[in-house]
Each structure stands twice: as structure tokens, then as C-alpha cells.
Amino acid sequence: MNRNRFIKSHGLGNEYIVLDEDNITFELNEKAIKRICNVNFGIGSDGILLKVSSKNADIGLRIYNPDGSEAEKSGNGLRIFCKYVFDYGIINKKELTVETKGGIVKANIKEIKKGKANVITVDMGKAIFKSELIPTKYEKEEVQGEVILLEDKEYKINCVSVGNPHCVILKESLDIDEIKKYGTKIENYHMFPNRINVQFAKVINRREVEVLIWERGAGFTLASGSSSCAVASIMRKKGLIENEVTIKMIGGQLKIEIDDNWNIRMTGEVRQICEGILSDELLEDIEMYGL
């Protein structure tokens, strides 16, 4: 098979490039990740999914943000990756386990269209509210309703981990310019040692929530699976929604189910955009210039 093959897919407009560690001829280091994810000097993407081996699950996955940082989990990334391994016959079953830095998850190919996986469910693990496990530097047991001051703005924050860290802010109305202005300040706030993903969330009713996303290491994205899980967990904890909710984002919507032990299940569509080969010139430029 050709070396340096990639596929590019999206989950609700949150796109990823998939690579196989056994197929690439270069080191997927920070320089490579930044250039490949750059829309002008590379392919352009919200991140990279690297297929790796696993001794503890059917397959392993490493998740990288466009800034080169590694993420413990990605909901859209996991659905895209499961579609890839199913569509390309790497794993010939509809139920599979994937080992990520944030734990082992179980996935289920829910719907197949013309022989390709189309809708995928992922059991994303448990919502963790303990502040030191998120992690945050807050002394309190949990970070719920804490106030942070950012220059001229005050936000009430609610933090949760779904394998990766999240800061959920409840809003009466959602403003893209506001999250683009303050998202990075919250992402890099000094109380979050590993930085944090940020969501502005507005309850529509007990079964629908609207969300804007600012991702750690990626910035403003059209959708985010782990963010959807985080928002649903916080809303459920505050008694604002039922245990099954639709999270509505600019790129589309996800169904999130939360059981009585805070186990989270996420279901949504994934679509492939293209497949191709990374050119030798791109690899030369990574070596010579990085980004």
C-alpha cells in the first residue's frame, strides 16, 4: 500500500486527518502536526488521529490538536476513527474497543450506508467532577459556579473531565464573537494546569441544549463530541435536563445519554471527505521549516 496515506473526515464539521503509524515514513512530531493541520501550508484540520497498536483494546488511538498538543480524548475523533477502521476493513466488527490516553472506550457502528459506517455510538466513560482530577488548582472538592474575572468580564465556571478537561459556562444567549474573544483567556487561565476546553451553553428545554465551543489547542470549532458530553454532564448535575439530551452546535447535533453512574454515551454521524497521499515536498518542508 502507498506510504503516507491519509483520510480526512468530519464529525459535524469538526474535521480530522487520520494517519497510521505503520504507514507513515516520518515522525509525527509537533512540527509535522502543525504544518499538516495548517490550511495554507498543509491540508488543514482540527486535529490528527494516529492509529497505533494496543495490548488492552482492539486498537489504539492517539489524538493531536493543531497546536501539536496531545489530547486524552475526542468524541468526534473517536467516531471518525471507528468509521475509518470499519470502512477500511481494519477491524471487521460493529462493536469495538479503542484505547486512548484518556482510557478505553467502547464503540458501536449504529448505522451503515452503502457499506460504510455512517452513525456511530461511543461510550465515552464517566464524567469526573473532582477538581483535582479534571485537573484544576482549586482547593474545593468540585468547581461548580466558581467566578473568574477576565479583564472586563466575569464568568461563572463549571468544570468536568470526560477524559479531557472542560469548563462549561451557562449563558442566556450565545455570541460567537464573545467566545472567540474570551475562549483563549479561559483555555489558558492559571487555575487549569493542563489548559481546558471551553463551552458556552444555553438550555433550550429539558431535552435540548445549544452550545458554542472553544477547544483547547484548536480554538473555535463547529462541533465537539467531548464538549457535548461535558455540557450534558454539567446540565444534568444541575438538574436542568433529562438523562437524554440533544446537543445542538453550529456543525450539527449529537445525542448524549447519561446514566445514574455518570457514564456517558454519545451518538452521531461521521462523513469522509477525502483520502490521499502526503507529498514528499510537504515532508521536506516539515523538515526544513516546521510551520
Q: Which residues belong to the annotated binding site for substrate?
A: 14, 65, 75-76, 164, 197, 215-216, 225-226
Q: Considering the complex, state which of residue 109 and residue 264 has its C-beta at the smaller distance from ligand API.
A: 264
- C-beta of 1: minimal distance to ligand API in Å? 28
Per CB under 6 A, does 100 bind ligand API? Answer: no
Q: Considering the complex, state which of residue 9 and residue 14 has its C-beta at the smaller distance from ligand API.
A: 14
Q: Lay out the site mask for ligand API across 239-258 (x = CB under 6 A, - = otherwise).
A: --------------------
Q: Which stretch binds ligand API (CB under 6 A): 26-34, 142-150, 212-220, 278-286?
A: 212-220
Candidate list 9, 14, 136, 253; residue touching ligand API; CB under 6 A: 14
Amino acid at site 16: Y
Q: Which stretch binds ligand API (CB under 6 A): 111-119, 126-134, 222-230, 253-261?
A: 222-230
- The DSSP annotation for the chain comes to --TTEEEEEEETTEEEEEEETTT-SS---HHHHHHHH-TTTS---S-EEEEE--SSSSEEEEEE-TTS-EES--HHHHHHHHHHHHHTTSS-SSEEEEEETTEEEEEEEEEEETTEEEEEEEEEEE-B-BGGGTT---SSSB-EEEEEEETTEEEEEEEEESSSEEEEEE-SS--HHHHHHHHHHHHT-TT-TT--EEEEEEEEETTEEEEEEEETTTEEES--HHHHHHHHHHHHHTT-S-SEEEEEETTEEEEEEE-TT-EEEEEEE-EEEEEEE--HHHHHHHHHH--
Q: How far apart are CA 284 and CA 287, in angstroms?
A: 5
Per CB under 6 A, does 268 bind ligand API? Answer: no
Candidate list 42, 68, 125, 225; residue touching ligand API; CB under 6 A: 225
Q: Which stretch binds ligand API (CB under 6 A): 29-37, 74-82, 93-101, 231-239?
A: 74-82
Per CB under 6 A, does 76 bind ligand API? Answer: yes
Numbered residues of the known binding site:
14, 65, 75-76, 164, 197, 215-216, 225-226
Q: Which stretch binds ligand API (CB under 6 A): 34-42, 69-77, 177-185, 231-239?
A: 69-77
Q: Considering the complex, state which of residue 42 and residue 75 has its C-beta at the smaller distance from ligand API.
A: 75
Per CB under 6 A, does 20 bind ligand API? Answer: no
Candidate list 217, 236, 245, 249; residue touching ligand API; CB under 6 A: 217
- C-beta of 280: minimal distance to ligand API in Å? 29
Contacts of residues 173-179 at CB distance under 8 Å and 24 or more positions apart, as own/partner, are 173/202, 174/200, 174/202, 174/210, 174/211, 174/212, 175/200, 175/212, 176/212, 176/220, 179/212, 179/213, 179/214, 179/220
Q: By CB under 6 A, what part of segment 117-176 binds ligand API? A: 164
Which residues of this chain interact with ligand API, rule CB under 6 A? Answer: 14, 46, 63, 65, 71, 74-77, 164, 197, 215-218, 224-227
